[in-house]
Structure 1
Amino acid sequence: MTTGAAWRDLIDLRSTTEERNPRSLELDTLDSPDLVATILGEDARVAAAVQARTAHIARLVEVCVAAIAAGGTVHYVGAGTSGRLGVLDAVELVPTYSATPDMVTAHLAGGDAAMMRAVEGAEDDERAGADLIDAACGERDVVIGLAASGRTPFVGGALRRARERGLATALVAANVHAALAPLADEAILLDVGPEVVTGSTRMKAATAQKLTLNALSTATMVRLGKTYSNLMIDVRPTNAKLVARTVRMLVQATGAAAARAADVLEAADGSVRVALVALLAGTDVERARAAADRFAPDPARTGDPAGIRSAAESLR
């Protein structure tokens, strides 16, 4: 049990994630339909809370794009549900955009084991957060703290050390009074209000963090040239579903017959970029490959970060 001065510090903390929700005070008296309606009614408030931070998220996108383009890495650092959401976002970028851990990686308090089972005390280890930054971060990297409460010591240790080293920092929290906000160059404080079940931040707070990470990482990948229009051109076709998706994508982008798209994709050794340029320009794979190389992805190329449009136009 926490006692003395430490306890006084805790009760002085303001936290929107720990307040009681006046709309769910009778929660345990409700039948199932009303329970579900109450929960989903609160969830419906989340998207607006995230959208209200659009400008903050967009600024962080630019920071991440610049870091990755310069050879740096974006690091998600979190504990519990927040940390697991960071892991989920980072690992899903691999098959979707062929992103590598050198581009975006996640660190969970307590290590890999904490993904499946809570590691007691890990989130309170501020020193471990600082040590993580020293061990994992280079001078061009970005450190993004994920903490629903906005005060997790592990995250605080990481942000503080990142600041000391001059790294770019950000915080994603669901507490508008987040104590760690001063350690972040960009603090994205999501005002989702109190949870249906008081303090259960796996609910609205987690949903808000997931939406934020979705927007952040997706926008970053698009700006890095990982899409053509709204199509994923760096997807890794590692199974039958994804192979079919790449062929379908070529058909959608160019209007080519499926059999033709599949043949060009095979001739391009599975490179969607090369196949796409060949089909758009109506040329052979070798010329398309050379053009794709000349117009490599570049976030500074306004309107065509992937280079696909420029490559195809150069061949017409």
Structure 2
Amino acid sequence: MNFTKTTEQSSKYEHLEQMSVADLLSNINNEDKTVPLAVEKVLPQIETLVTKVVEKMKLGGRLFYIGAGTSGRLGIVDASECPPTFGVPFDLVNGIIAGGDKAIRRAVENAEDNTTQAWIDLQEQNIGANDVVIGIAASGTTPYVIEGLKKCNENNNITGCITCNEGSPLAVTAQFPIEVVVGPEFVTGSSRMKAGTAQKLVLNMISTATMIQLGKVKGNKMVDMQLSNDKLVDRGVKMIMSEISVDYDKASSLLKEFGNVRKAVDGFNNND
């Protein structure tokens, strides 16, 4: 397959080492500004994939992200934020990285080139018929991710992908591809930059829109969030105050009683 890896093309900036700090920052920022516009162009593709994820989750399915390196880490970050933000089970959204958890902090040699490990990793999570798997790879050529999606396709799992090269092997493999073409990086080939930013934006959209569709947000509030620190407890108390017009102490006592913003509001209203 012949396709152009725009993520690997030479930066349009030369002699970076001769730039001042101000110029470096300004030029990086100028490149970063182009990323949301690239994401905007693929909103219909993101919508289609989110719709499928919601449909499968309503049937008891889960969401898996698989990736290597930066892409794998971004999937893990998004997955790990879902339980505290939306109060969902820790295994509803899962991030899997080539090389296992140790690869989160440092690269594992040749992990992304393993063509069989992704399916093994998914099987260890008891992947089921209603689970959706999204492969993340800026290049669109990562063997770990591509071969993982191929096995998912064979087993009738819904597959999607997030990549930053058009017409890549990964996009051809995924049933619902998202191709955010951000062009050459400021530092040639450093796809943790614009490509990574694009992937993060799309992941935010997928998980947030899915959770809202599943009823995990009320109005614009995270009413099911986990109260894991003082800041979040204070936020929860203020949410209750705005919902049912009670003072801080009363809202705080309700939150302690019910342990959750939604339950506290519902409990107060039911007893009112």
Hey, what does 2:271 align to over in structure 1? 284
Please give the alpha-carbon distance, in whole angstroms, between the structure 1 residues aligned to 2:192 and 2:46: 21
Please give the alpha-carbon distance, in whole angstroms, between the structure 1 residues aligned to 2:37 and 2:244: 36
Please give the alpha-carbon distance, in whole angstroms, between the structure 2 residues aligned to 1:26 and 1:180: 33
Hey, what does 2:236 align to over in structure 1? 246
Hey, what does 2:172 align to over in structure 1? 182
Hey, what does 2:253 align to over in structure 1? 263
Amino acid in structure 2 at the alignment position of 1:81: T
1:227 aligns with 2:217: yes
Deviation at 1:129, TM superposition (A): 1.9
| Matches for 1:136-151 after TM superposition, within 5 Å | 136=125, 137-151=127-141
Please give the alpha-carbon distance, in whole angstroms, between the structure 2 residues aligned to 1:17 and 1:167: 29
Contact 2:3 / 2:168 at 8 angstroms: preserved in 1?
no
Hey, what does 1:237 align to over in structure 2? 227
Hey, what does 1:210 align to over in structure 2? 200
Deviations 1:231-264 (A, max 9, x none): 0011111222221111011123333322222232
Equivalent residue in structure 2 for 1:49, among 38, 51, 74: 38
Hey, what does 1:32 align to over in structure 2? 21
| Matches for 1:1-16 after TM superposition, within 5 Å | 14-16=4-6
1:122 aligns with 2:111: yes
Amino acid in structure 2 at the alignment position of 1:82: S
Hey, what does 1:308 align to over in structure 2? none
Amino acid in structure 1 at the alignment position of 2:271: D
1:87 aligns with 2:76: yes
1:97 aligns with 2:86: yes
Contact 2:149 / 2:159 at 8 angstroms: preserved in 1?
yes
Please give the alpha-carbon distance, in whole angstroms, between the structure 2 residues aligned to 1:61 and 1:129: 22
Equivalent residue in structure 2 for 1:71, among 60, 64, 74: 60
**Structure 1 unaligned runs (5+)?**
1-8, 286-316
RMSD of Structure 2 on Structure 1 (CA): 1.6
**Structure 2 unaligned runs (5+)?**
none
Please give the alpha-carbon distance, in whole angstroms, between the structure 2 residues aligned to 1:174 and 1:252: 42
Amino acid in structure 1 at the alignment position of 2:115: E
Instruction: Give TM-score, length-normalised by structure 2.
Output: 0.94
Greater relative contact order (Cα < 8 A, sep 6+): 2
Please give the alpha-carbon distance, in whole angstroms, between the structure 2 residues aligned to 1:187 and 1:266: 44
Hey, what does 2:50 align to over in structure 1? 61
Contact 2:3 / 2:166 at 8 angstroms: preserved in 1?
no
Amino acid in structure 1 at the alignment position of 2:91: D
Q: What is the total number of aligned residue pairs between the two structures?
A: 271
Amino acid in structure 2 at the alignment position of 1:284: N
Please give the alpha-carbon distance, in whole angstroms, between the structure 1 residues aligned to 2:26 and 2:51: 38
Please give the alpha-carbon distance, in whole angstroms, between the structure 1 residues aligned to 2:229 and 2:169: 45
What SS does the aligned partner of 2:167 have? coil
Q: Among the aligned pairs, what percent are the same residue?
A: 41
Deviation at 1:13, TM superposition (A): 5.0
Deviation at 1:86, TM superposition (A): 0.3
Instruction: Give TM-score, length-normalised by structure 1.
Output: 0.82
Larger Rg: 1
1:109 aligns with 2:101: no
Amino acid in structure 1 at the alignment position of 2:189: G
Hey, what does 1:293 align to over in structure 2? none
Amino acid in structure 1 at the alignment position of 2:250: R
Deviation at 1:113, TM superposition (A): 0.2
